[in-house]
Structure 1
Amino acid sequence: MSWQPDGPGVLRLPSGRLVRGRGLRAPRPPGPPATYAVHLLGRRPPELSGDVTWLRWPDFWLPADTATARAVLLDAWRRAAGERVEVACGGGRGRTGTALACLAVLDGVPPADAVAYVRRHYHRRAVETPWQQRYVRRFPAAR
């Protein structure tokens, strides 16, 4: 019960896990909905339906609580082994790209290479700020 590998916004991690990134301001892509979603937003959205975790993460910045962010992203990575996991922010590039790069680190991509990996396989402008890039380089790999 995973994504189609060639679906819009779908990132294939080295392990074969598929995760979809997207912008919440755009219409939801066609096809089945996510079974689990992580929304990276500065403020709690007015309504969360389905299996969604809100992670407080202001636009162009970093997660408000890095320990919580790591726990949520580790859970998303684990769930991506058998579920349709989606990571989304407003535009689908900066925060989403940063989170996807962290998932790549959890999947075994060296932290120094994770931003380039996501830019190559998800979106060329993913991970928008120098501090987001630094966050990925310092993100601890899975144990």
Structure 2
Amino acid sequence: MLAGVSGTWAPAGVGVLKLPSGRLVRGRGLRHPLPDGPRPAFAVYLLGKEPPAVPWEARWLRWPDFWLPSDRSAAREVLREAWERAESERVEIACGGGRGRTGTALACLAVLDGVPNSQAVDYVRANYSKHAVETPWQRRFVARFPN
């Protein structure tokens, strides 16, 4: 963890999703400026190519726009790590636009947090972005995500 980077997000922060357990995770689009305020302690970047380096700990999942992660086993591991770390750290999940891939990953975190798979997409759309999870295969990925 970076010096001075501890705690979680403010519940009303830009892009912050509050999971039923109280864990807070920030979703965002990397094509938009970094929001003002504290930096993440840990981030998961969902992109088709490796992202530029950032001054906080980050994981990259190869995940082409509008599709699914290239390695689903790695996706499960990294998303579980993000969910676990969100209990006490500022965790960020981000893709290019902050909707499809980010929404899908946030819905998977909701499943890990106890939201039934069949309700996770609706939960994220109601509490993060109504545009989250853009494709039928992304919805199916959430529906089959192990908890």
Give the TM-score category using the shorter length.
Answer: over 0.9
The one-letter code matched in structure 2 to 1:129 is T
Q: Which amino acid letter does the alignment assign opposite residue 87 of structure 2? A: A
TM-score by length of structure 1 reads 0.97
1:32 and 1:41 mapped to 2: Cα distance?
23
CA-based RMSD of the aligned residues comes to: 0.7
Q: Deviation of residue 48 (structure 1)?
A: 4.1
Equivalent position SS for 2:140: helix
Partner of 1:79: 85
Q: Could you tell me which residue of structure 2 aligns to residue 2 of structure 1?
A: 8
The alpha carbon displacement at 1:134 in A equals 0.3
Unaligned runs of 5+ in 2: 1-6
Match of 2:117 in 1: 111
Q: Which amino acid aligns with 1:42?
A: G
Greater shift, 128-137 or 48-57, is seen at: 48-57
TM (normalized to structure 2)?
A: 0.94
Q: Helix, strand or coil: the match of 2:93?
A: strand
CA shift for structure 1 position 45? 1.8
CA 1:46–1:3: 2 relative to 1, 3 Å: closer
Q: Which amino acid aligns with 2:60?
A: W
Aligned to 2:29: 23
Query: Does residue 122 of the first structure (1) align with residue 142 of the second (2)?
Result: no
Gaps of 5+ in 1: none
Equivalent residue pairs, number: 141
Amino acid of the structure 2 residue aligned with 1:99 = A
Letter in 2 for 1:135: F
